[in-house]
């Protein structure tokens, strides 16, 4: 797990500039040697979408890219690609640290392999990144950077979760259960009892897998859904509060403001302008 924490720390504390966003389809059984003689000019986040290809860095570090497998880094490394029998479609986002002298930036000069449970929503995130990359102006550039961090954090979290040797299936099922029942009254004791686990032990296992406690995760899911509803401008704050499991709109408003920094009424009014 240390590797994922190191990557997360590097991106959290090293200012990054996001450059091009690409979605490419490589022909089957081809060998691409464009960076064998000239090292790569950027670091990259590479996500396999369909098919497979083998990326070999500096002649020895060979990493397979396919759906559910990704690479982070690869800056100033020589690279060749060997495509599998079904071709390979992948997404690539180029980035560079603003200050390459920072100690954390050295992590990007290595190629890090990640394996994770691929989610179809990632395709939408890639498409949104492509749209932001194609749009002109500073707002589009800001959106591209925000989407990059969102996708990166999601991949790192999924990869870290996938590597958990103990309780991983139970925690993964708990996450699915929370997403399906977040609007219902959920307590730590109730969630732990589903696996005959002590609440304290269950909470620690969940936090190790996700980085947050189970009730904090429930609140996050509720607030995320509440924000989506408020942004339609079609529902009152009280109605949104009830729909995500809060009978007290004032308590809901406090939680919402803590999460997003603004009151839910402000979001609703902004969308109605």
Give me the tens of pLDDT residue by residue for the chain, a chain 273 residues long.
567 888 988 898 889 999 999 999 999 999 998 788 888 999 999 999 999 999 999 988 899 999 999 999 999 899 999 999 999 999 999 999 988 888 778 889 999 999 887 888 899 999 999 999 999 999 999 999 999 999 999 898 888 766 654 567 888 899 999 999 999 999 999 999 988 788 887 898 888 888 899 999 999 999 999 988 888 888 899 999 999 999 999 999 999 999 888 888 887 666 555
CATH of 168-272, one of 1.20.58.340, 1.10.10.60, 2.120.10.30, 2.40.10.10: 1.10.10.60
Note the pLDDT of residue 260.
86
Task: Give the whole-angstrom CA distance, residue 35 versus residue 32.
Answer: 8
Helix (H, G, I), strand (E, B) or coil at 54: strand
Query: What's the pLDDT at 121?
Result: 85
- The pLDDT value recorded for residue 163 is 63
pLDDT recorded at residue 37:
83
Q: What is the pTM of this model?
A: 0.61
- The owner of tokens 């997360």 is 8
Residue pair 209/167 in contact by the 8 Å Cβ criterion: yes
- pLDDT at residue 209, as a whole number: 82
- CATH 2.60.120.280 residue ranges in the chain? 2-161
As annotated, the residues of the chain forming the CATH 1.10.10.60 domain(s) are 168-272
Cβ burial of 195 (10 Å; 0-12, 13-18, 19+) is middle
Is 78:50 a contact under the CB 8 Å cutoff? no
pLDDT of residue 231: 83
Dihedral (Cα; 178, 183, 184, 188), 10-degree rounding: 40
Could you please state the CATH topology (level 3) that the domain comprising 2-161 is classified under.
Jelly Rolls (2.60.120)
CA–CA gap between residue 48 and residue 81 (Å, rounded): 13
Q: What pLDDT, on a 0 to 100 scale, did the predictor assign at position 255?
A: 92
Residue 50, pLDDT score? 94
**Who's near 118: CB < 8 A, 6+ residues apart?**
67, 68
For residue 16, give the DSSP letter. E
């Amino acid at each position: 797990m240390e590797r994922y924490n190191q990557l997360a720390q590097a991106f959290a504390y090293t200012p990054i500039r996001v450059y091009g966003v690409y979605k490419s389809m490589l022909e089957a059984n081809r060998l691409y040697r464009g960076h064998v003689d000239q090292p790569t000019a950027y670091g990259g986040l590479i996500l396999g979408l369909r098919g497979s290809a083998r990326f070999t860095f500096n002649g020895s570090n060979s990493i397979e890219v396919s759906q559910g497998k990704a690479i982070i880094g690869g800056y100033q490394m020589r690279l060749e690609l060997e495509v599998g029998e079904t071709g390979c479609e992948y997404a690539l986002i180029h980035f560079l640290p603003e200050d390459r002298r920072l100690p954390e930036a050295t992590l990007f000069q290595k190629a890090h392999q990640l394996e994770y449970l691929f989610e179809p929503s990632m395709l939408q995130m890639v498409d949104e990144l492509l749209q932001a990359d194609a749009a002109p102006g500073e707002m589009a550039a800001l959106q591209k950077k925000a989407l990059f961090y969102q996708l990166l954090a999601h991949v790192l979290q999924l990869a870290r979760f996938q590597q958990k040797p103990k309780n991983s299936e139970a925690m993964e099922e708990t996450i699915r259960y929370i997403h399906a029942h977040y609007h219902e009254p959920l307590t730590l004791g109730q969630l732990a009892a589903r696996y005959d686990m002590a609440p304290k032990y269950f909470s620690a296992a969940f936090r190790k897998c996700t980085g947050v406690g189970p009730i904090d995760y429930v609140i996050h899911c509720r607030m995320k859904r509440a924000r989506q509803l408020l942004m339609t401008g079609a529902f009152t704050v009280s109605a949104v509060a009830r729909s995500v499991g809060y009978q007290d709109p004032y308590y809901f408003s406090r939680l919402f403001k803590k999460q997003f920094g603004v009151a839910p009424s402000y979001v609703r009014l902004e969308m109605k302008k």
